Structure 1
Amino acid sequence: MLRLFLVVLALLGLSHAGAAQEMTARFGSGATPFLVRSTTDVAIIRPVMERFAALNPEIAITYEQWGSNGLFDQSRAECRDGTPGADAVLSSAVQQMVWLVNAACAQPYRSAETAALPTTRRWRDELWGVTIEPAVIAYNKRLLPVDEVPRSRFALLDALRERPQVFHNRIATYDIAESGLGFLFAYSDSLEATTFGGLLEGFARVDAVATCCSAEIISGVANGRYVMAYNVLGSYVANANEPDVGMILPEDYTLLLSRGYMIPKGAARADIAARLLDYLLGPEAQRLLVQAGLVTEMDDTEPALAVSARRYIALSPTLLVARDANRRTLLLQFWSDTFRQAAFP
């Protein structure tokens, strides 16, 4: 029990500087500049941004795509130094967004659209969840027959124990030191799963691969490099358009993420940021987000996900424990040692 407890604590403390800005896109050609920084891939959110730009022809939108850790570091530095930055920030690593709000890096806003959100998707009128995306198990349909696909963590544990040769070096997940999203899912698993410690050791025994990016993981599943991927964001699987990649919403529980939207306290165009927020929460944008795979309607999944299996990652102060700096270095080393010992007994 002590060993498992220390592993969990290590996961709670993990953090690492991530990649910086990855890509820039521009929407609209108006005279008023508006800067959005986001972890959401440009290709996925493009229809939404194009429509918002069309509805607001006076705006010239610069959309910067960032890695989650890099975006957090940049937002934190600008907040600390009081330097100009983004007008709006949208991130999947919501534990980092909660930290920024708690550090007085955001400004409040309230409207009918934000007030209508459930409490799990808004905090202090300074952070709002605009999407609904499940963490899924992705698998290669050619390499793993549908009746052999684990549909829960318990089944996955059994598969790793009974058929290690199938998964050896061919199961992937996020590198939680590099991916803020991957860390968030691991942290949430540690709070929910009685299987958490067993899965870590099971992944270690089969030499599971940890990597940074959703696109890389999904591409690896599609081309057969990986048989399966664990805790991949379902929106990226849906958008990959890979016919050989299937996905499972785990039946024991499925984590549901809402990307966090924040208006930085130094935003030059907070008025436009508020307008974009209301648009994102409105019916037209929500339909576009459904089409983009960024909003999954749980009752429409096949099969429908049971209400009891839905675990919404709430935007709340409970996520602040994930930023405990005092534990970081020592517990990261302990986690690495434990993983290595499980892999090479």
Structure 2
Amino acid sequence: MHRLWLTTALLVVFLSSSQRLQAMPLVVEAALDRQVVAPLLAAFEQAHPAIELIYRDRSTLEVNDLIATAEPPPDVVISSAMPWQMNRVNQGYAQQLDSAQASEWPDWAKWRNELFGFTFEPIVMAYRLDLARHILPPQTHADLHTLLSEQREVLQGKVTTYSPSESGIGYTLFQQDARYTDRFWDLVTVLGDADAELEANTRSMLEGLTEGRYWLGYNLLGSYAMVWAQENPEVIVQVPQDYALVMMRTGFIHRDAPNLRAAQAFMNFLLSRDGQRVLAAQTPLFSVRPDVVGPYTAQRLRDQVGDRLYPITLNASVLAFVDALRRDAFMARWQREFSRYQRGDD
């Protein structure tokens, strides 16, 4: 009788623990607007109805901090700030994903089977139709520089771009611009001369364009801008024709993920053909997989822009962007160039 009672008690404890494990939610901390990624989340929930998904949309800097400070930690981390993600992975906060999807993923879009770039998003300019009534809108970075130089009075206070001090992705994009054009700092100077407003995210820039506070935006995330323009026809999106940066949302499984199996299922879905088909057909996030067809694919974007498309690849060089000395030097020069005319310098 005693043995029967003990066996029954152990069985109850086992079943209770199993139920708690199954009921544990999957927590995703992401710098990715839920509205944009909603079709992908819905498809995952339909494919895995037993998993309760908790998706939290935050800024890139908030996500980066939570990787190290959240208690309990998130299961999956997603961000557009690629250097910060790479840095956290190198600090040991990620764990490998051992799956067919991970092993088959393109080398340029992954790092040590721990960090995976699963979108392919162009960086764009956007302008309000009011601009086109006064000035020919820019199609290249050189056009933008000329426009800001020659139409300073018309555009005074009506231009917006990222704040490199408040946005991880904004800082990364400016670093890339400096790499690809030797006139980058001239552009920063004329942005400052036009009293450009520096925003922490693309949404704020787009809201300003719709409200009429801004006429022109530089270095916006194309995924957000394209969705916005569909519902706000006064905003026009322009992929730069001289060169177009491309960023990837990167994701990894936290080393201390409380719900590891669910985290693995989620990451595998992001990389799967089914998940990437949702990205290509129902979101402007652009799929990476070459075997996926749809209006938003990396190959279709390459066909449109050609060899002027410059993806930010996942390799060790990206880590230089989070080097403290390099960041301090970059920000010091940014402040100097951006405020040059405000100081009255020639």
Q: TM-score range by the shorter chain?
A: 0.7 to 0.9
1:283 corresponds to? 273
Superposed CA offset, 1:195-250 (max 9, x none): 21111111011111101121110111122211110000011011212111111111
Q: Is the 8 A contact 1:143 1:224 kept in 2?
A: no
Match of 2:164 among 170, 176, 187: 176
1:305 paired with 2:304, answer yes
**141-150 vs 58-67, which deviates more?**
141-150
1:131 paired with 2:119, answer yes
Q: Distance in 1 between matches of 2:196 and 2:343?
A: 13
CA pair 299-52 structure 1, distance change in 2 beyond 3 A: closer
Q: How does 1:299-338 map to 2 (within 5 A)?
A: 300=300, 304-329=303-328, 332-338=331-337
Q: Distance in 2 between matches of 1:132 and 1:330?
A: 29
Q: Distance in 2 between matches of 1:130 and 1:314?
A: 12
Match of 1:263 among 253, 268, 274: 253
Q: Distance in 1 between matches of 2:120 and 2:330?
A: 31
CA pair 195-116 structure 1, distance change in 2 beyond 3 A: farther
Name the structure with the higher helix share. 2
Q: Please state how far the C-alpha of 1:160 moved relative to its aligned partner.
A: 1.4
1:47 corresponds to? 39
1:113 corresponds to? 101
Q: How does 1:75-86 map to 2 (within 5 A)?
A: 75-77=67-69, 84-86=72-74
1:12 corresponds to? none
Q: Distance in 2 between matches of 1:277 and 1:197?
A: 39
1:67 corresponds to? 59
Superposed CA offset, 1:42-78 (max 9, x none): 2222221122112212211111111110110121335
How high is the sequence identity, in percent, across the aligned residues?
A: 28
| Uncovered stretches (5+) of structure 1, i.e. residues with no partner | 1-29
Q: Distance in 1 between matches of 2:225 and 2:322?
A: 28
Q: Distance in 2 between matches of 1:195 and 1:187?
A: 13
**310-319 vs 50-59, which deviates more?**
50-59
Return the index of the structure with the highest Cα Rg: 2
Q: Distance in 2 between matches of 1:285 and 1:147?
A: 42
Q: Distance in 1 between matches of 2:104 and 2:235?
A: 36
> What amino acid does structure 2 have at the position aligned with 1:37?
E
Superposition RMSD on alpha carbons, in Å?
A: 2.1
Q: Distance in 1 between matches of 2:55 and 2:134?
A: 39
SS, match of residue 144 in structure 1:
helix
> What amino acid does structure 2 have at the position aligned with 1:289?
L
Q: Please state how far the C-alpha of 1:179 moved relative to its aligned partner.
A: 0.9
Superposed CA offset, 1:167-215 (max 9, x none): 2111100111111111111111111112211111110111111011211
SS, match of residue 243 in structure 1:
coil
**330-339 vs 52-61, which deviates more?**
330-339
CA pair 102-67 structure 1, distance change in 2 beyond 3 A: same
Q: Please state how far the C-alpha of 1:95 moved relative to its aligned partner.
A: 0.8
2:224 corresponds to? 236
TM-score by length of structure 1 reads: 0.84
1:294 paired with 2:294, answer no
Q: Is the 8 A contact 1:205 1:344 kept in 2?
A: no
SS, match of residue 143 in structure 1:
helix
SS, match of residue 104 in structure 1:
coil
> What amino acid does structure 2 have at the position aligned with 1:235?
S
> What amino acid does structure 2 have at the position aligned with 1:218?
L
TM-score by length of structure 2 reads: 0.84
Q: How does 1:135-214 map to 2 (within 5 A)?
A: 135-145=123-133, 148-214=136-202
SS, match of residue 59 in structure 1:
coil
Q: Is the 8 A contact 1:134 1:254 kept in 2?
A: yes
Q: Is the 8 A contact 2:192 2:337 kept in 1?
A: no
CA pair 328-283 structure 1, distance change in 2 beyond 3 A: closer
| Uncovered stretches (5+) of structure 2, i.e. residues with no partner | 1-21, 287-295
For CA contacts below 8 A with separation 6 or more, give which structure has more relative contact order.
Answer: 1
